[in-house]
């Protein structure tokens, strides 16, 4: 082997080792990011059987502990008590009066049958839970529906596709100027 050839070989080795080390560094530095993606509990991830048609929205974990935005009442025939709650991103946006809502905002509308208080005749309390309705803001993923993904659930299961086709139309027709959200922060 001439000295030029062996010099060339050495250089090739050196380049290969440098590349391998670089690759390793890239892999190692992105590892926490990859793991966090895999473990993230987002509304759009999880069991697909529990996700809404069209949007793939699921019931967010811990929503029963979320802060109240406003209660509402629905007249007959539904005749329901309701409460709209939001995650921290939603609450922060409401408090700052920020419109449109930032990506990551999640709004949940809880609903119950009306029930007369067993202790006090004129008091109405929540009876059986009827539906859980969810709106998730992701301006890229849901660009064709104002940036919102919708999900409506009964007993933890999403309702059919036809019902999910109605969501955006009604919110768009009446609440477009408020980023498609009806509920205002209760005073
Ligand atoms: C016919 C109109 C209409 C349709 C259809 C509709 N909504 Fe709504 N939605 C409302 C109104 C009005 C409110 C305000 C709160 C209330 O009165 O219950 C609301 C409130 C909400 C909220 C709380 C945030 C906000 O905008 O105030 C969520 C979440 C929600 N709806 C989800 C859904 C989902 C999911 C669907 C489809 C399965 C849907 N909505 C279909 C009228 C509609």
Tens-digit pLDDT profile for residues 36-87: 555 554 444 456 789 999 999 999 999 999 999 999 999 999 999 999 999 9
> Does residue 185 lie within any of the structural domains?
no
Pick 132 or 15 by higher pLDDT. 132
On whether residue 20 sits in a domain, the answer given is yes
Q: Is the pLDDT of residue 91 over 90?
A: yes
Distance in Å, CA 20 to ligand 1 centroid: 54
Looking at the predicted structure, is the pLDDT value of residue 6 above 70? no
87 domain-assigned = yes
CA-proximal residue: ligand 1, atom 41 (nearest):
167
Residue 183 lies in a domain: no
Mean pLDDT of 163-181: 98
On whether both 36 and 52 belong to a single domain, the answer is: no
* C-alpha–C-alpha distance, residues 160 and 173, integer Å: 22
d(CA 147, CA 105): 10
Residue 46: closest CA among 151, 38, 54: 38
Owning domain of residue 12: 1-40
Is 146 found in the same domain as 60?
Answer: yes
Q: Look at residue 33 and tell me if it is in a domain.
A: yes
The answer to whether residue 187 is domain-embedded is no
User: Does 124 lie in the same domain as 99?
Assistant: yes
Statement to judge: residues 36 and 53 lie in one domain: no
Same domain, yes or no: 97 and 163: yes
Structural domain includes residue 52: yes
Instruction: Tell which one of 183, 184, 185, 186 to mutate to probe ligand 1, the residue whose CB is within 8 A of the most ligand atoms.
Output: 183
For residues 13 and 80, membership in a common domain is answered with no
- Closest-CA residue, ligand 1 atom 36, reads 167
* Residue 90 contacts residue 107 (beta carbons within 8 Å): yes
Does 117 share its domain with 95? yes
pLDDT of the residue at 154: 98
119 CA distance to ligand 1 middle (Å): 32
Q: Is the CB–ligand 1 distance for residue 110 below 6 Å? A: no
What does the block give as tokens for 110?
């809880």
Domain shared by 55 and 79, yes or no: yes
Distance from Cα 147 to the centre of ligand 1, integer Å = 15
Instruction: Find out whether 150 and 169 touch, Cβ atoms under 8 Å.
Output: no
Same domain, 94 and 28: no
94 phi-psi bin (left φ>0, alpha ψ -120 to 50, beta other)? alpha
Number of domains in the chain: 2
Q: Are residues 30 and 14 in the same domain?
A: yes
At residue 36, the pLDDT reads: 54
Report pTM. 0.80
pLDDT for residue 18 is more than 60: yes
Phi, psi torsion values for 22, nearest 5 degrees: -60, -45
9-13, 73-77, 152-156: which range is least confident on average? 9-13
Under the banding of pLDDT at 50, 70 and 90, the label for residue 20 is confident
| Domain contains 143 | yes
**Are residue 15 and residue 69 in the same domain, yes or no?**
no
Nearest CA to ligand 1 atom 40: 167
Question: Which residue, by CA, sits nearest to atom 32 of ligand 1?
Answer: 133
Q: Are both 57 and 147 inside the same structural domain?
A: yes
CATH number, position 65? 3.50.70.20
């Amino acid at each position: 082997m001439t000295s030029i050839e062996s010099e060339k070989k050495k250089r090739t080795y050196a380049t290969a080792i440098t590349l391998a080390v670089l690759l390793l560094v890239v892999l190692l530095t992105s590892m926490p990011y990859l793991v966090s993606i895999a473990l993230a509990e987002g509304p759009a991830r999880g069991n697909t059987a529990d996700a809404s048609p069209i949007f793939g929205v699921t019931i967010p974990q811990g929503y029963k502990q979320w802060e109240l935005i406003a209660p509402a009442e629905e007249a007959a025939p539904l005749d329901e008590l309701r409460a709209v709650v939001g995650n921290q991103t939603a609450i922060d946006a409401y408090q700052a009066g920020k419109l449109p809502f930032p990506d990551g905002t999640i709004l949940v509308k809880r609903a119950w049958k009306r029930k007369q208080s067993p202790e006090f005749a004129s008091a109405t309390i929540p009876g059986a839970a009827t539906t859980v309705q969810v709106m998730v803001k992701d301006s890229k993923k849901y660009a064709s529906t104002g940036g919102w993904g919708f999900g409506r659930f009964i007993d933890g299961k999403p309702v059919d596709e036809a019902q999910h086709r109605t969501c955006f139309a009604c919110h768009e027709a009446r609440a477009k100027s408020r980023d498609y959200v009806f509920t205002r922060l209760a005073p």
